[in-house]
Structure 1
Amino acid sequence: MTVNQQAFVHLVRTAQGRYLAMNRNGVEIELGHGHDLFSPVELLLAALAGCSAIDVDSATTRHAEPEVFKAGVQATKSSEGGNHLEDVQLTFSMRFPDTQEGAEAKSMVERVLQLSHEKLCTVSRTLELETPVEMNVKFCQSFRETIREAS
């Protein structure tokens, strides 16, 4: 059975080069250009790491709580043929307790990570599929129209 859900994030400019993104639940994150902000590319990399981390964490913690659970993503920014990322690498650093349960959790990691990449993680799947992006613009006629569009 195919399940289609709308993903939605609302973005508002707060100052030059600074933006506030908000999801349907009202959770906010600031992004933009500046030493104190995540850049859009860094958020994309964080989304990739977070998506697979959720999959691995959900599966392994049924057996054992990790002692160390870190993920890092690195990529090369290229401008050849238009700005994009190349050589994206996601690396997990993990340690589980030296118990039978820890061994069971550890034995699952590579299989769950592969499943995450090939099927479960919307972020990595979208990147792999080279999903087309449609760009649209709407010029608001009034402040009220702007407020209505934001909700």
Structure 2
Amino acid sequence: MSEPNVVKTYGVEVERLAQTHYRATNPAGASLEFGAGEGLLSPVELLLAAVAGCTAVDVDVVTSRRGEPSTFRITAEGDRVNEAGASRLSDVRLAFDVAFPDTPEGRQAQAMVGRLVQVSHDKDCTVSRTVERPTNVTFKV
């Protein structure tokens, strides 16, 4: 198997706003607050949102060319497990609730959803493919 080619580098900067309250900002200036507290998404929930959001974008880009969805929701869940004192997520599950109007264009878009979800999983979604494969994570202080 050949080595993968780096085609783009992604990055965010995380800044502490208060105890357990943070803001992630990308180079374009878009930001999202998260942390451990009331009204904030936790880092684990952000990971689940990223997995769901990646496939959401893949499906939405193609289907919305045919018609505007009447429903577009993805529920993402994962089980926190403990392995020898270390925790991680296991068995991440996505449930898609995507529907289009009963028009020729809507029916065409609806018929594509299952295949697009599969292609996203197998090829296009960087996030879920990263989660499913061993990925090096390094920390530098």
User: What TM-score does the superposition give when structure 2 sets the normalisation length?
Assistant: 0.91
Q: What is the DSSP-based 3-state SS (H/G/I as helix, E as strand, rest coil) of the residue aligned with 2:110?
A: helix
Q: What do residues 31-80 of structure 1 show as CA deviations (whole Å, max 9, x unaligned)?
A: 11101211100001111111100000011111111111111101111122
| Equivalent position amino acid for 1:54 in 2 | V
For 1:51-90, list aligned pairs within 5 A: 51-81=54-84, 82-90=86-94
- Is 2:115 aligned against 1:100? no
Alpha-carbon distance in structure 2 between the residues aligned to 1:83 and 1:49: 21
Q: What do residues 76-110 of structure 1 show as CA deviations (whole Å, max 9, x unaligned)?
A: 11122421111110111011111121111111111
- Is 2:64 aligned against 1:37? no
RMSD: 1.2
Q: Percent same amino acid at aligned positions? A: 47
Q: Which runs of 5+ in 1 are unaligned?
A: 138-151
Q: Which runs of 5+ in 2 are unaligned?
A: none
Tell me what 2:21 maps to. 18
Distance change >3 Å, CA 123–CA 93, structure 1 → 2: same
Tell me what 1:110 maps to. 114
Shift in Å at residue 24 of structure 1? Answer: 0.6
Structure number with bigger Rg: 1
Match for residue 51 of structure 2 among 48, 65, 69: 48
Shift in Å at residue 12 of structure 1? Answer: 1.1
For 1:110-149, list aligned pairs within 5 A: 110-137=114-141
